[in-house]
Amino acid sequence: MAVTGLAHWRAERRQKRYHQPFRIAEPQWDAAERGRLARLLDDVAKAARAAEAEHARRSSMEAPAITPSAPVLKEKDLAEAATNLWRAQRRTTRLTEENSREGKRIGRLLVATKDALTEAGVQIQDHDGDEFHPGLSLEVLAYQDDPSLRVEIVQETVRPSVYLAGRRIQMGQVIVGSPAAPEREEDTSA
């Protein structure tokens, strides 16, 4: 295919939109200058190693050694974070029931966060619907009479129980529904 004058002019014009290559010639150093440069680079490397060693020495003196078995976070802070996650999950349940796209996205993020905590050894226990008996390690905030119940049931979890590596770090708070006490027959034989 032959290149016409107009096509040639367009190709040339396209090339002129860009700068010509910019090249720097290699420095012309003799052996003495190259040796001096090598010594300077060695001095810089030695100074960097010395500074790194000094920094490591100072940081080991300042910061206490963290043992793998000691948790970095305080248990109270971890329990509070787990409780806030639990509350957020409960509130977003309403959004997902309304088929809210944003609610579903937030719900997936919260589930991923809870899974990460579970892998780290943190368990969040919700007590809603569990049968209650006095031997459970729960703080009862209130009892509510409910004639439809046969046994005491946790009607609402106000604060979940939180466990770290199987050890409880936060006691759960609940509201318990109890069967209505049978009414006493009044003694009318007087």
Q: What is the per-residue pLDDT for 184?
A: 46
Q: Averaged over 98-124, what is the pLDDT?
A: 85
Confidence of residue 4 (pLDDT cuts 50, 70, 90): confident
For 90, the domain range is 75-178
Per-chain mean pLDDT for the chain: 81
Report the predicted TM-score, pTM, of the whole model to 2 decimal places. 0.54
Residue 69 lies in a domain: no
- Tell me, what's the pLDDT at 91? 83
In this predicted structure, what is the pLDDT of residue 176?
Answer: 94
pLDDT number for residue 190 = 45
Residue 116 in tokens: 């990460």
| Structural domain includes residue 61 | no
CATH number at residue 171: 2.30.22.10
* pLDDT on residue 19: 63
| Domain membership flag for residue 143 | yes
* Count of the separate structural domains present in the chain: 1
Please report the pLDDT score of residue 183 as a whole number. Answer: 58
pLDDT in tens, 34-74: 888 889 888 889 998 998 888 888 776 665 555 556 556 78
In a domain, 139, yes or no: yes
